[in-house]
């Protein structure tokens, strides 16, 4: 039996199991009930946690943009999100004519469910996690794709051209950025030799952000894009297509798209800290699991704050720029990083095996770090030559000297090759 | 193993069920006063013209096609990455060849101008 003070989550789980077993229920039933209760706590907990996230996001956004943010309802405006929720609960659902009823109503639910499903595999402490699936990373990729589907469903079923355009943009963006995301997830799997998230955390004697910094950076960028936030918020560009896929939604259905959005931002921060920052690992976390929870939350908060800083300070990309960043930069660099890491790591493995374990780890870390640096250097060199390459001049469009008596017309400006 | 997936199944049902309940409650609490004007399609106050499901740019389709190729081929790399620690140098080289072919496909697509947004 775990000690309550060092491991409250493990203690409660054990206590609950023992309680049910004490009532004389068979083991299978106890496990089923424990699963239902555990899943219920995680799902409901994440939904209520979202209230705090909405407040945090608005407050931080306010401070970044030199405003105060919510400060009227409760201390520091903490109850603002609750007040907003009460209001949104009593709003009318305006369902426009001609929508596809089933798909239209399913879309907001899906957008929340797709994010909450990610919480099923995240290890919060050494003992507190939903379920440590043996295909955890693949599960993350698969469930992450559901969020795209909900946006397509919303846009397609709304019977509105703006919504449809927003959905098209969303598909193009989200599926494109899934490619570097999936490739960058290869590196934690490779270095830890497991797809279980708890095993990945356990394998991080050296956090993977040190041994695979390129993969970490690519994961960070493309998960912001997956979330559809600024600077990648083309799918709900307010100034271009009103609000994109959610124009025709109202009340809580509209709100749920934002619940999904806010929750997703925090979830990807959690995933980042699990996959690259060592999750619950830290001094003393093995003996006192509750400390691991604290470490995890500190790491997550830092990543969450970084994501918010990016969101509130960068302007939006054009769609062609966004596609170029993905297909001509992130994807090749991610592939290059996987190849270089695999090659160098295996090539030096035999040499490192002859040294002492501690020295071996240090040397391996240094070698991988240098490899990543080399990949970045080569990539930036190649990128530089590609970006500075002039586009071929289209001679036909230029004003040419013609033997004519009348004064020459104003020369047509040759179209500049845009650097993108 | 099976019980793992039972947990995911329960989780999936609950994560759909709880938001659905919230929406139903909100539907009961909120007023219900539909009117033809209110229910008309919102396009910045201008009357909507023609069909909603218009023809769209073929560009989107091309990106979806490229995505499909890359995503499926990347998924093939996961079993390799999982077994990475047990592999010899030779096996790793083979995987690198596979990735190089993938990269070749990407470069081909770029040179063909498929990934150029017009």
For the stretch B95-116, pLDDT in tens is 899 889 888 888 888 888 777 7
Q: What is the mean pLDDT of chain A?
A: 82
What number of CA atoms fall less than 13 Å from residue B62's CA on the CB side?
A: 14
Q: pTM to 2 decimals?
A: 0.87
- Put simply, the answer to whether B63 touches A331 (Cβ < 8 Å) is no
pLDDT band at A242 (very low <50, low <70, confident <90, very high): low
Domain boundaries B2-111, corresponding CATH code: 1.20.58.1610
pLDDT higher than 70, residue A385: yes
Best of A97, A132, A203, A339 to substitute, by most chain B Cβ atoms within 10 angstroms, is A339
- Put simply, the answer to whether B60 touches A171 (Cβ < 8 Å) is yes
pLDDT higher than 80, residue A102: yes
List pLDDT tens digits, range A315-337: 888 878 888 888 888 888 998 89
Residues of B in Cβ contact (< 8 Å) with A180: none
Candidate from A9-18, A117-126, A204-213 with smallest mean pLDDT:
A9-18
pLDDT band at A25 (very low <50, low <70, confident <90, very high): confident
- Put simply, the answer to whether A131 touches B8 (Cβ < 8 Å) is yes
Residues of A in Cβ contact (< 8 Å) with B48: 160-161
Q: ipTM higher than 0.85?
A: yes
pLDDT higher than 60, residue A420: no
- Put simply, the answer to whether B15 touches A116 (Cβ < 8 Å) is yes
- Put simply, the answer to whether B74 touches A93 (Cβ < 8 Å) is no
- The phi and psi torsions of B41 (rounded to 5 degrees) equal -65, 135
> What is the predicted pLDDT for the residue at A98?
78
Candidate from A28-32, A102-106, A189-193, A204-208 with smallest mean pLDDT:
A28-32
Give the pLDDT mean for B14-36. 85
Residues of A in Cβ contact (< 8 Å) with B98: none
Q: Which residue of chain B has the CA closest to A259?
A: B19
- Count chain A–chain B contacts defined by CB atoms under 8 A: 214
Q: Measured between alpha carbons, how far is residue A270 from residues A65, A168, A304, A393 in Å?
A: 25, 29, 8, 49
pLDDT higher than 80, residue A314: yes
* CB of A73 closer than 8 Å to CB of A83: yes
Distance (Å) from the alpha carbon of A10 to chain B's nearest alpha carbon = 18
Distance (Å) from the alpha carbon of B47 to chain A's nearest alpha carbon = 11
Q: Which residue of chain A has the CA closest to B21?
A: A109
> What is the predicted pLDDT for the residue at A220?
92
pLDDT band at B117 (very low <50, low <70, confident <90, very high): confident
- Across the interface, of B43, B71, B116, the residue whose CB is closest to A161 is B43
- Put simply, the answer to whether B39 touches A331 (Cβ < 8 Å) is no
Give the pLDDT mean for A290-309. 88
* CB of A47 closer than 8 Å to CB of A259: yes
pLDDT band at A24 (very low <50, low <70, confident <90, very high): confident
DSSP A249-294: --HHHHHHHHHHHHHHHHHHHHHHHHHTS-TT-STTTTT-HHHHHH
- The phi and psi torsions of A123 (rounded to 5 degrees) equal -85, 115
> What is the predicted pLDDT for the residue at A408?
61
- What are the respective helix, strand and coil percentages of chain A, to the nearest 5? 70, 0, 30
Q: Measured between alpha carbons, how far is residue A40 from residues A22, A46, B14, B30 in Å?
A: 22, 10, 7, 26
Residues of A in Cβ contact (< 8 Å) with B34: 94-95
pLDDT band at A40 (very low <50, low <70, confident <90, very high): confident
Break chain B into its structural domains and give their ranges: 2-111
> What is the predicted pLDDT for the residue at A393?
64
pLDDT band at A404 (very low <50, low <70, confident <90, very high): low
List pLDDT tens digits, range A176-208: 888 899 999 989 998 888 888 888 888 888 888
Report residue A239 as tokens: 């100034």
More confidently predicted of A59 and A129 = A59
């Amino acid at each position: 039996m775990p000690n309550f003070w060092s491991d409250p989550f493990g203690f409660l789980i054990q206590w609950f199991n023992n309680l049910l077993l004490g009532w004389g229920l068979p083991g299978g039933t106890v496990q089923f009930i424990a699963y239902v209760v555990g899943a219920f706590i995680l799902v409901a907990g994440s939904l209520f946690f979202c209230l705090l996230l909405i407040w945090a996001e608005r407050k931080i956004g306010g401070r970044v943009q030199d405003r105060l943010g919510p400060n009227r309802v409760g201390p520091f405006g903490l109850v603002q999100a609750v007040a907003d929720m009460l209001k949104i609960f009593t709003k009318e659902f305006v369902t426009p004519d001609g929508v596809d009823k089933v798909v239209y109503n399913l879309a907001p639910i899906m957008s929340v469910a797709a994010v909450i499903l990610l919480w099923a595999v995240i290890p919060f402490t050494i003992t507190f996690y939903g379920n440590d699936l043996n295909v955890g990373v693949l599960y993350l990729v698969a469930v992450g794709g559901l969020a795209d589907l909900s946006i397509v469903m919303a846009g397609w079923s709304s019977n509105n051209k703006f919504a449809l355009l927003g959905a098209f943009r969303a598909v193009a963006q989200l599926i494109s950025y899934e490619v570097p995301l999936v490739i960058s997830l290869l590196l934690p799997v490779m270095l830890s030799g497991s797809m279980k998230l708890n095993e990945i955390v356990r394998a991080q004697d050296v956090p993977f952000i040190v041994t695979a910094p390129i993969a970490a950076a690519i994961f960070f960028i493309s998960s912001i894009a997956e979330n559809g936030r600024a600077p990648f918020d083309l799918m709900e560009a307010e100034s271009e297509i009103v609000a994109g896929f959610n124009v025709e939604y109202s009340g809580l259905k509209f709100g749920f798209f934002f619940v999904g959005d806010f929750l997703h931002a925090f979830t990807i921060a959690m995933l980042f800290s699990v996959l690259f920052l060592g999750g619950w690992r830290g001094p003393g976390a093995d003996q006192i699991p509750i400390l691991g929870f604290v470490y995890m939350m500190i790491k997550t908060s830092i990543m969450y704050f970084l994501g918010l800083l990016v969101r509130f300070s960068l302007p939006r990309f054009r769609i062609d720029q966004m596609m170029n960043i993905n297909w001509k930069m992130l994807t090749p660099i991610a592939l290059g990083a996987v190849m270089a890491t695999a090659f160098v790591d295996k090539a030096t493995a035999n040499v490192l095996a002859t040294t002492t374990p501690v020295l071996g780890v240090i040397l391996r870390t240094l070698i991988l770090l240098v490899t990543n640096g080399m990949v970045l250097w080569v990539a930036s060199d190649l990128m530089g030559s590609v970006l500075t390459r002039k586009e071929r001049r289209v001679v036909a469009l230029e004003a040419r000297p013609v033997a004519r008596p009348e004064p020459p017309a104003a020369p047509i400006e040759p179209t500049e090759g845009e650097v993108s | 193993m099976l019980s793992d997936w039972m947990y995911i199944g329960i989780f999936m049902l609950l994560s759909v069920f709880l938001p659905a309940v919230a929406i139903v409650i909100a539907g009961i609490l909120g007023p219900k006063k539909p009117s033809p004007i209110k229910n008309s399609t919102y396009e910045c106050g201008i009357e909507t013209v023609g069909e909603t499901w218009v023809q769209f740019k073929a560009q989107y389709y091309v990106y979806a096609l490229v995505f499909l190729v890359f995503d499926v081929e990347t998924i093939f790399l996961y079993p390799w990455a999982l077994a990475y620690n047990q592999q010899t140098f030779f096996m790793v080289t083979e995987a690198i060849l596979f990735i190089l072919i993938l990269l070749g496909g990407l470069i081909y697509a770029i040179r063909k101008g498929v990934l150029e947004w017009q």
